[in-house]
Amino acid sequence: MCLLSTGSRVRVPPGSPNISFVFNENLAVIVRYHDFLTLIVVNSAHMLRPIRRHVTGCGNYKKWDVDCPPNTKLKCPLIIVRYEPGPNGRKIRKEKSLGTNDEAVAWQLINQMVVSGETKPADPPKTVEQSIDLFLALEAKRGIGEATLKSFRKFLRGNPKRNPNGNFSPTLLEFAAKQNPARTYLKDFTTDDLTNFRGEWRVHRHALKIQSERLKQFFKFAHDSKWIPENPAAKLKPPKVKEEPVYAFPKEDRDAILHAVSEDDYLLTLNLTMRYSALAPVDIVHLKPQNLHGDRIVTKRRKTNKRVNVKLPPVVVERLKALPIQAGGYWFWNRIGKQSKHETATGNLRRMMRPYFEKASVYQRDEHGEAVYEKDEDTGELRPLLATLYQWRHTFVHEHIMKDTPPSRIAELLGDTLKTVMETYAHFIEERQAQLDKAAERTWNEEELEGFRI
Ligand SMILES: [Zn+2]
């Protein structure tokens, strides 16, 4: 509450700051002079105020002291006009750029000038968009790889050519605009905002870890460059990433699942096809009769863009041929409407399979074959995690490794790289080695060896 009238004075403790604010479109300044406060209201006709300097593309180009046309998105830069004392008592008119086109920021800068007595406006804070653009430009100049740059662009402002209706995670720019109030300046972001932002990402596992690191890098850069006074990402904890266990369905689980779905032609064919093709759910939903060449499935993997060509047992081929084709020409995706996303289709498969995994009591296992439990957030009770269709792929690999198919051939069948296969399935390869060692041991002739003891 301001109890001062213009020019009145009030005694204040030493060290009190100057305060300024806009009052009835006039700039009011409370100025401390020794230990008095004085309220000064500057008449708007003489005060410093933001004025648009219209650029050539603006409908009001060359017009003075008017705002940009209301129907345009373009907002021209704001300037101030000051009169400085010149020779012979004349005044020299000086225009100074405020470095912003945002009126609220412009007023802040002017208030700072009036209070501090500075004749030059301070640098305006950087908007989210300015920060992102500058960061990307500086990183590009620094010569970082195009792939890294692309991955930064993806979550900061999105690929310029991406489908505006695509099912993408919101970019930092979109997230900022969506907040209430919108986060206009990069300095507006809090650690909570960043946690919420990360919560909206549709990336998982390893990709989530990487992108989270990139988000931290961006804010650290902004902080190091003094664009923001504090780094809201400094306290951001790494995301909790649940690495899905890689295990194969043991025989009793395989039997139980196939038995549980045996009455449902669609689900039985789905499970058998996944079991013998090793296709991931995303590739399964894209399968069409055109991908069946005789007894082989030939398709391109979504994730790696690699071609796979895998032979199916005759029983599975017959079942596939007998399966009705759904909207869009797919076997396992009823794609009504072109807008329908494959994430919806794989989500539907997951939901459809849930009661069957429950009925069959097939749960996720860790790499030692033990069931994996999860804590119920409400009751705190431990409950076993239901298995997923993805495990058919691992089961396929497990069987090939146990039958000594070379890893390079397995990579080919999976549409993956040898490196990924060797890393992902290292424990299967060890298991096979242990099995071979046991077999080797069984051939040792103890009687013969006994005679050669030292
Ligand atoms: Zn303009």
Give 121-176 pLDDT, tens digit per residue: 888 889 999 999 999 999 988 888 777 888 899 899 987 776 666 667 889 999 99
Residue-level pLDDT at 158? 86
Q: Residue 3 pLDDT more than 50?
A: no
Residues 162-217: tens digit of each pLDDT: 666 666 788 999 999 999 989 999 999 999 999 999 988 877 666 778 889 899 99
Quote the ligand 1 centre to 171 CA distance (angstroms): 28
Q: Residue 36 pLDDT more than 50?
A: yes
CA distance 228 to 187: 5
Structure tokens at 273: 């096809």
Mean pLDDT score of the chain, rounded to an integer?
A: 85
* % of the chain surpassing 90 pLDDT: 49
Domains with residue ranges and CATH for the chain: 9-116 (no CATH), 128-224 (1.10.150), 251-435 (1.10.443.10)
Quote the ligand 1 centre to 120 CA distance (angstroms): 23
Residues 310-326: tens digit of each pLDDT: 999 999 999 999 999 99
Three-state secondary-structure class, residue 288: coil
Quote the ligand 1 centre to 76 CA distance (angstroms): 4
Residue-level pLDDT at 7? 45
Q: How many CA atoms lie within 13 A of 193 on its CB side?
A: 26
Residue-level pLDDT at 83? 82
The sign of the dihedral angle between the CA atoms of 339, 343, 345, 351 is negative
- Nearest by Cα to 215 from 243, 186, 244, 242: 186
CA distance 387 to 370: 12
Span 299-305, average pLDDT: 90
Residue-level pLDDT at 249? 94
Residue-level pLDDT at 285? 95
Quote the ligand 1 centre to 130 CA distance (angstroms): 19
Quote the ligand 1 centre to 337 CA distance (angstroms): 43
How many secondary structure helices (H) and strands (E) does the chain include? 16, 12
Quote the ligand 1 centre to 81 CA distance (angstroms): 17
Quote the ligand 1 centre to 25 CA distance (angstroms): 21
Quote the ligand 1 centre to 124 CA distance (angstroms): 19
The sign of the dihedral angle between the CA atoms of 245, 393, 282, 273 is negative
Quote the ligand 1 centre to 75 CA distance (angstroms): 6
What distance separates the 2 farthest-apart alpha carbons in the chain? 121
Quote the ligand 1 centre to 293 CA distance (angstroms): 63
Span 34-57, average pLDDT: 70
Residues 212-238: tens digit of each pLDDT: 989 999 999 999 998 999 999 998 888
Lowest mean pLDDT among 24-38, 197-211, 416-430: 24-38
Compute the radius of gyration of the chain from its Cα atoms: 34
* Top-confidence residue, 325 or 120: 325
Residue-level pLDDT at 17? 56
Residue-level pLDDT at 222? 95
What is the chain's percent helix, strand, coil content, to nearest 5?
45, 15, 45
Quote the ligand 1 centre to 68 CA distance (angstroms): 4
Read off the DSSP letter of residue 5.
-
Quote the ligand 1 centre to 74 CA distance (angstroms): 7
Quote the ligand 1 centre to 128 CA distance (angstroms): 22
* Top-confidence residue, 2 or 438: 438
Quote the ligand 1 centre to 228 CA distance (angstroms): 28
Q: What global pTM score does this model have?
A: 0.51
Quote the ligand 1 centre to 50 CA distance (angstroms): 13
Quote the ligand 1 centre to 22 CA distance (angstroms): 24
- Nearest by Cα to 427 from 405, 401, 406: 401
Amino acid identity of 434? A
Residue-level pLDDT at 122? 80
Residue-level pLDDT at 12? 53
Quote the ligand 1 centre to 299 CA distance (angstroms): 55
Quote the ligand 1 centre to 78 CA distance (angstroms): 9
Structure tokens at 89: 């008592």
Q: How many CA atoms lie within 13 A of 72 on its CB side?
A: 13
Residue-level pLDDT at 4? 44
Q: Residue 28 pLDDT more than 50?
A: yes
Distances (CA, A) of 448 to 45, 451, 452: 112, 6, 7
Quote the ligand 1 centre to 119 CA distance (angstroms): 25
Quote the ligand 1 centre to 80 CA distance (angstroms): 15
Read off the DSSP letter of residue 40.
E
**Strand blocks (E) in 207-342:** 292-293, 296-300, 307-311
Quote the ligand 1 centre to 100 CA distance (angstroms): 13
Quote the ligand 1 centre to 58 CA distance (angstroms): 5
* Top-confidence residue, 200 or 31: 200
Quote the ligand 1 centre to 82 CA distance (angstroms): 21
